[in-house]
Amino acid sequence: WIQAISAGVDNFPLAELKRQQIYLTTASGANAQSVAQQTVGYLLNDVRHLQSDAEHRLTKEWTDLFHRTELTGRSVLIMGTGNIGRILAGYLKAFDMHTIGVSRSGRAVENFDEVATMAQLSELLPVAEYVINCLPLTTATRGLVNADFLSKMNQYAYYVNVGRGGTDVEHDVYQALKNKKIRGAALDVFEQEPLPQDSPLWELPNIMITPHTAGHTNFYYGRIFDYFFENLAVYKQGLKPVRNLINYDQGY
């Protein structure tokens, strides 16, 4: 049995662990509140222009040139209805947003007004005002957000990725932002980290870049130890651990 200290396990030899019948449990949920709260910050910054206000402070400019609005009544499409997606949907419901979840199964989940399957994405992308990626990196999600995906999004939509960088085709995201095929984006994860200094993403005016910090919280390791000891108590009884047990066929 292996207890991972991360939520994602795409860097583990899953096929070999399955072959050897080794249990693998993850830290899924340990940073869910942190990721969800930072994501709310991205959306609030988008409608309230807080980053621009902070930049004007440095130049001592008292200016209000922006169209400030609210999250109230907006539709948000959250890809991934696990711990992060569920908590995030709850936070956004407090802003009276319409929450749509997308998952492999499409089953109903707390805090979502509706949940669809991944096969229904094409119908939902044109109407969502915010698209938030909380997906794990699997063979099914790698490169999901590509030129075709982005072309189906509303031109005025805002894209957020707090899941895995490998779910984006980064060049396609760059082109969509550069050519204003979508309104803007906030990215916390990237195909290569740290993001190279010569990445063209740095130069875009309609993007917020954070250095994979959404999951950083002082509560993280304490929660992982709680998960570990919960699973250990079960494992010592000769049973398989149940908290965050990986399904090798699904990859998460």
**What domains are there in the chain, each with its CATH number?**
1-30+219-252 (3.40.50.720), 36-209 (3.40.50.720)
Name the catalytic one among 212, 223, 230, 243: 212
Which residue bears the tokens 């908290």?
243
| Three-state DSSP class for residue 226 | helix
Tens-digit pLDDT profile for residues 90-110: 999 999 999 999 999 999 999
Tens-digit pLDDT profile for residues 116-170: 999 999 999 999 999 999 999 999 999 999 999 999 999 999 999 999 999 999 9
- Single out the residue of 136, 116, 133 nearest to residue 124, CA to CA: 116
Active site residue 164: yes
Tens-digit pLDDT profile for residues 32-86: 999 999 999 999 999 999 999 999 999 999 988 788 999 999 999 999 999 999 9
Name the catalytic one among 55, 70, 123, 193: 193
Q: Diameter of the chain by CA atoms?
A: 66
Element of type H or E holding 150: helix 147-152
Query: Which two structure tokens, joined as six digits, stand for 181?
Result: 């095929």
Rounded distance, CA 140 to CA 153, Å? 20
Active site residue 49: no
Active site residue 243: no
pLDDT at residue 86, rounded to an integer: 99
Rounded distance, CA 64 to CA 62, Å? 7
Burial 110-134 (b: 16+ CB within 10 A, else e): ebbeebbebeebeebbeebbbbbbb
Query: Tell me, what amino acid is at 111?
Result: N
Contacts of 61 (CB under 8 A, 6+ apart): none
pTM above 0.75, yes or no: yes
